[in-house]
Amino acid sequence: MVPTDDRGVSPVIGTVLMLAIVVIAGAAIGVFVFGLADSPNDPTPNIYRYTDELVSDGGSDDQIVRITHKGGETLEISESTIDVLLSVDGTTCQGKTRLTDPTLTTIDSSHFEGDDILDSNGLGGQFGTGSDEAWQSGEEIEVRISNSKCSLATGDEVNFKLVHDPSKSIVIDTDLTVES
């Protein structure tokens, strides 16, 4: 006959279960303490309402992309990158530039990546103030396209992108066409 005494099994199972709980808890704590878990990305600021215009009147201050923040969250200027893409009918000029520091008051070739299509005083509005301020509702930003490097004509297009660098997300992506 087989013995039916199970009194010694309960303490063994209890010890194994307790050991498993301690190991799992230790692993979870280790992941957070040593940063092995992926941290969530910075949230993208939501600018849900804005107006855009491309001013090209032939004067010395022409060819200005102007974006006005009309509603949504505040965007820290120091966390932003500006992409400007020109698509000019014909071969007059085409170019793409990425402005890597929109807090500057003047721009030279060390401040952008790509083609040199922006005016040296290429920023205006809330950008280009020389500070790390924020862009919020009611304020505008301006990017000046150099008239001497690329003269826009009726029908030419400019694509403007505003990128939030920490989240690597496009906040604004708009196409503007020069009208007569």
- The pLDDT tens digits for 90-131 are 455 667 777 776 666 666 667 677 777 777 666 666 665 555
Domain parsing of the chain, residue ranges: 6-39, 49-177
Residue 132: which H helix or E strand, with range? none
Q: How high is the pLDDT of residue 129?
A: 57
Query: What fold characterizes domain 49-177?
Result: Immunoglobulin-like (2.60.40)
What's residue 92's pLDDT?
A: 56
Check residue 151 and give its pLDDT: 76
Report whether pLDDT(135) > 60.
Answer: yes
Q: Looking at residues 47-73, what average pLDDT do you find?
A: 78
| Confidence at 45, pLDDT banded by 50, 70, 90 | confident
Residues 6 or more apart whose CB falls under 8 angstroms from that of 149 comprise 93, 95, 116, 117
Rounded to two decimals, the pTM is: 0.65
